[in-house]
């Protein structure tokens, strides 16, 4: 187990380095930031001095090595857009807003997806199962941004029940979290139903029933625990995606999160801001995937890492 965990950590570090290289090169291929920071009538000498000050006059490999050296210490440079503030400082300011929205959507996704998936599997081929499959189909087909716009029109503009945008109390959280969680609920519902159907046909489930266990114990203790492996993997991916920032939802609801901040940095060619944001998102993805892999062995003792 320790050897496997060490391998996963090393693989995660390599992944972060590769991602940082891709983002580093891609951000610079988008254009020269000096032309955004200087007036249009700036001379070549002024452009050259600014490029030298920012380190943009050096070859890309050297720029990347300097960037990597500073990134290890959490120093990604200063943001051009936010009056020369430290990029990581701005990222950390926005991260709690994204975490709040992401965890609200994640809890909604897991609870609703598991309950609906188990209900659909245990009531196979009846009305509830048909209703669950229909919801899963619509949930994965309906775009989240469309649902968000419709929610604003109905519950904010027409009925006036909820605020249209911003971050404040729990009323501001309802519509964004639902629009984000909609697709995740449908995904978890489908995979829960599928794995539960496989598990419910297993011999040990029949044995558990023959021993006189109640149906609730058979379903929620024996069947669901063994069906959680693929559900856990799906949930971990969804959580990492949500923590990375759902750009469209944050834009629609003017939610001051990490995704919308990185989008602003891309538009303004703010290298430091984009690199810091992508680095944080990469760490989040890798950490979530590593945690899911390690939890596998806790849920299912049959899994062994050699």
What residue ranges do the domains of the chain occupy?
87-299
Closest CA to 105 of 261, 288, 244: 244
- The predicted model scores a pTM of 0.74
- The pLDDT value given to residue 212: 73
Count of C-beta atoms within a 10 Å radius of residue 79:
25
Series of mean pLDDT values for 10-residue runs along the chain (306 residues): 72 80 73 64 71 71 79 78 80 86 87 85 79 80 81 86 81 85 84 82 75 74 75 76 72 82 78 81 79 67 54
Q: Using CA atoms, how far apart are residues 243 and 106, in angstroms rounded to an integer?
A: 9
In degrees and rounded to multiples of 5, residue 280 shows phi and psi of -65, -45
CATH 1.10.3720.10 correct for 87-299: yes
Q: Contact, 100 vs 286, CB < 8 A?
A: no
């Amino acid at each position: 187990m320790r050897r496997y965990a060490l391998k996963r950590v090393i693989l995660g570090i390599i992944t972060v380095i590769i991602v940082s290289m891709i983002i580093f090169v891609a951000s610079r291929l988008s254009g020269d930031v000096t032309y955004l920071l200087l007036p249009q009538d700036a001379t070549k000498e002024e452009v050259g001095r600014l490029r030298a000050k920012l380190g943009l006059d050096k070859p890309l490999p050297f720029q990347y090595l300097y960037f990597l050296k500073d990134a290890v210490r959490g120093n990604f440079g200063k943001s051009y857009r936010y009056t020369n503030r430290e990029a990581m400082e701005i990222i950390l300011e926005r991260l709690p807003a994204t975490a709040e929205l992401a965890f609200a959507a994640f809890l909604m996704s897991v609870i609703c997806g598991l309950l609906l998936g188990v209900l659909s599997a245990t009531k196979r081929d009846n009305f509830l199962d048909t209703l669950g499959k229909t919801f899963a189909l619509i949930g994965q087909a309906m775009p989240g941004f469309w649902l968000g716009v419709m929610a604003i029109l109905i519950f904010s503009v027409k009925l006036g029940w909820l605020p249209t945008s911003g971050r404040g109390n729990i009323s501001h959280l309802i519509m964004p979290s639902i629009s984000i969680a909609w697709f995740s609920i449908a995904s978890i519902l489908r995979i829960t139903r599928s794995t539960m159907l496989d598990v419910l046909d297993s011999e040990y489930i029949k044995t558990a029933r023959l021993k006189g266990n109640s149906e609730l114990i058979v379903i929620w203790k024996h069947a669901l625990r063994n069906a959680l492996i693929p559900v856990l993997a799906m949930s971990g991916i969804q959580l990492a995606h949500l923590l990375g920032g759902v750009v469209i939802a944050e834009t629609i609801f003017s939610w001051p999160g990490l995704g919308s901040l990185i989008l602003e940095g891309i538009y303004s060619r703010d290298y430091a801001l984009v690199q810091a944001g992508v680095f944080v998102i990469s760490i989040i993805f890798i950490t979530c995937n590593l945690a899911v892999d390690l939890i596998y062995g806790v849920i299912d003792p049959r899994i062994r890492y050699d």
